[in-house]
Chains A and B, each alone.
Chain A
Amino acid sequence: MNDRANEIAAIVSKHRERHGALLSILETVQRTNEHNYLPKQELVMVAKELGVPLSQVYSVVTFYAFFNLKAQGEHVITVCRGTACHTRGSKPLLDKVLHMLGIELDEDGMATTPDYRFTVHTVACFGQCALAPVIAIDGVIHSMVTEEKLTTMIEALSAHKEGA
């Protein structure tokens, strides 16, 4: 943890004088975090180093969707739960991927495998309803996803790491 504390102190001092320092600092801290998120103790370090209230830091973190408050897996699978996707079978797809990975969604609609290989979460709508059902893997949108297609993609991702 001490190394990480020094790292965070360095990030803060690099950005502190700049405009919008807090945002850039949080963004960098998240990016350099092992699991691409902002753990509570790292947010405390940021607040303390920068000398800003904890409440303000948390306000910023919860305002922007790109900040994660939970550890993220290497691969992030986003399943759309919008109406169009739902009608075209997004629920069975979601169940399938959760089953494959052996995890269950928490109250915020998110789940990560214990080995931090995969995170699954849902969104309200991708705005790509014509292509439903839509699933994003690591930010890449896949349209008209079927169970087979999904299985293949996830198996490929799992195999990749094991082979490496």
Chain B
Amino acid sequence: MDKKMVTLSVDGKTVTVPEGTRILDACKVAGIKVPSLCYLEDVSAHGSCGICVVEIEGFKRLVRSCLHTVQQDMVIHTHTDRVMRARKLNLELLLANHPLLCTTCERNLNCELQSLALQLGVRESRFERTKKSLLPIDSSSSSIIRDPNACILCNRCVEVCAKVQEVHAIEMMGRGLRTTVSTFFDEGLASSVCTNCGQCSLVCPTGAITEKSHESEVFDAIADPNLVVLVQTAPAIRVGLGEAMGLGEGSLVTGKMVSALRTLGFDRVFDTQFSADLTIMEESHELIHRLTSGGTLPMITSCSPGWIKFIETFYPEQLEHLSSCKSPQQMFGSIAKTYYAERAGIDPRKIRVVSIMPCTAKKFEAGRSEIDSAFSYWREQGSFTDDEYFCDVDYVLTTRELARMLQRIGIDFAHLEEGKFDDPLGQSTGSAVLFGATGGVMEAALRTAYETITKTTLDDLEFEQIRIGEGIREATIMIGETPLKVAVANTLANARVLLDQIQEGKSPYAFIEVMACPDGCIGGGGQPIPSTKEIRRKRAMSIYEEDRGMPIRKSHENPSIQELYTSFLVQPLGHLSHQLLHTTYVKRGEYPD
């Protein structure tokens, strides 16, 4: 059904837009981008900052264009003197309590507050600071740092956490001058239900929420001649990094990324896609095993650490549904420090594994104690003593951190030559690339499961129904004669829908993929800012393009993976696989005891 249209005037221009359009969007149609700050499309309309005001004939007061919708025959003026003065005043009021430490702020040159000050010609605030003291920084989390002093109380983070993720880790606390965004009893994110997804850091207009950075630790490791520093890059980096380095949205930069990492000084440039293929081997066999042996169904994917903490916290009774497979990041770490170390003759104690991830929750994942297994592998063979303990993955950097490191060394990214990953942990397939977008793990697993079960070749590799689209998608895939009902969810709010279904005993699915972030890892909390729907779609298209261009597109056909099984692991779900590639989960619960 077509929506009713409304005609109005914006700065003397007549525009016709559907009923219910926000004034702000109607102005856009008229060619005016009304400045805004607290408003964020699809996420938050808090209406608190007053930057987006416009004048409407017949209205005494200025109107917040982000909150109100158009009416027939409205006459709007977007930049009268009164409007401009009000915007400036509102911004100055916000700046009065803002630290203005731009030069040392992580969001310098990519900050909405800063750009707005520039745009509105605000150089200083006429107002004095009204907040008495500085508030403590919350650095309790292994993924996210919150500096309430840089917060302008726009409410975006609260909304994204409550509505997109349905986690509710943070809220507006207190009132008046004492209002802050904080956690229960100000205990900090680490003791809260926070899943470390980092969506709040993506939507924050200022430097108030950032990832916990490991840039200097990685620079130090690279500089240490005694260490062999291996880097692995997640699929979504190659479609995100370019943006942060000044190239177009969603640009595919695999080769340049490899060259840049080599220039940065990593000893080997490997690919998380190698271990994504490995994950598919293990996970598709686990699925087949569950299907044929009466195991717990639906089986749910386990690659997204924000999702893992979510189910551990809110649905601890459903942990059996999770695949026991470690994520590709962690599989990489354990294989690098066992198989690769052995093969390359490198002392595993000297290896540092650095991951480049689109994800802030990966930092938390790398620190989970139950996830490490390389050390115990060596320990069982009698090598090393307990105090020589090392973890599987040493440092996790987000796409944004890598971009900053590259900027720091002054690399001319756009003109880098196309590099190639090192062997053997750099070889991967089209299936592995797909991990970067929602539905990709499912698609990759189906390619392999289909051929493993039917022992025939899958002709049409692309499963359109489960690719980027709605928050929840389902499909019935014919594996030979047997239908397999599957579902894909992205964002934790959507994951909830599928879990509630399981809880009620009504889940019709055999296999479910969940990614914590909007549209999957391409929309991860560590990706370049902004990360809008439109941008995410472009990143996804590059993922699909990369898959189509790969010479091998099915995980089980990756020769380096085949070699890994032949010479080391023996078989999927075998003894060594269990030791190195599978993990356990923690029953957390939402409320402390």
Instruction: Give A contacts to B, CB under 8 Å.
Output: 40, 43-44, 47-48, 53-59, 62-63
Contacts and interface: CB of A to CB of B under 8 A. Distances in A.
Contacts of B384: none
B591 A54 contact: yes
B58 interface: no
Contacts of A48: 590-591
Contacts of A56: 168, 171
Contact of B171 (A40, A43, A44, A58): A58
Interface of B: 168-175, 182-185, 192-193, 590-592
Contacts of B184: 43, 54-55, 57-58
Contacts of B175: 62-63
Contacts of B590: 48, 53-54
Contact of B174 (A43, A47, A53, A63): A63
Closest 10 CB pairs of A and B: A53-B168, A54-B184, A59-B171, A55-B171, A48-B591, A62-B174, A62-B173, A58-B184, A63-B175, A55-B168
Contacts of A47: 591
Contact of B183 (A40, A43, A55, A63): A55
Q: Per DSSP, are chain B's interface residues mostly helix, strand or loop, or mixed? A: loop
Contacts of A40: 185
Nearest to A47: B591
Contacts of A55: 168-171, 183-184, 192
B306 to A, nearest CB: 17
Nearest to A107: B133
A69 B183 CA distance: 15
A58 B172 contact: no
Contacts of B183: 55, 58
Given A55-B168, A55-B169, 8 more contacts: A43-B184, A44-B592, A53-B590, A54-B168, A54-B184, A55-B170, A55-B192, A58-B183
A36 B261 CA distance: 60
Contacts of A59: 171-173
A40 B184 CA distance: 9
B496 to A, nearest CB: 13
A105 to B, nearest CB: 16
A147 to B, nearest CB: 29
A54 B173 contact: no
Most buried by A among B185, B193, B592: B185
Contacts of B185: 40, 58
A108 B325 CA distance: 49
A62 B183 CA distance: 12
A54 B406 CA distance: 41
A53 B173 contact: no
Nearest to B161: A55
B68 to A, nearest CB: 26
Contacts of B182: 58
B469 to A, nearest CB: 29
Contacts of B592: 44
Most buried by A among B172, B174, B192, B591: B591
Contacts of B171: 53, 55-56, 58-59
A29 B182 CA distance: 23
A54 B592 CA distance: 10
Contacts of A54: 168, 184, 192-193, 590-591
Contacts of A57: 184
25 contacts: A43-B184, A44-B591, A44-B592, A47-B591, A53-B171, A53-B193, A54-B168, A54-B193, A54-B590, A55-B169, A55-B170, A55-B171, A55-B183, A55-B184, A56-B168, A56-B171, A58-B173, A58-B185, A59-B171, A59-B172, A59-B173, A62-B173, A62-B174, A62-B175, A63-B175
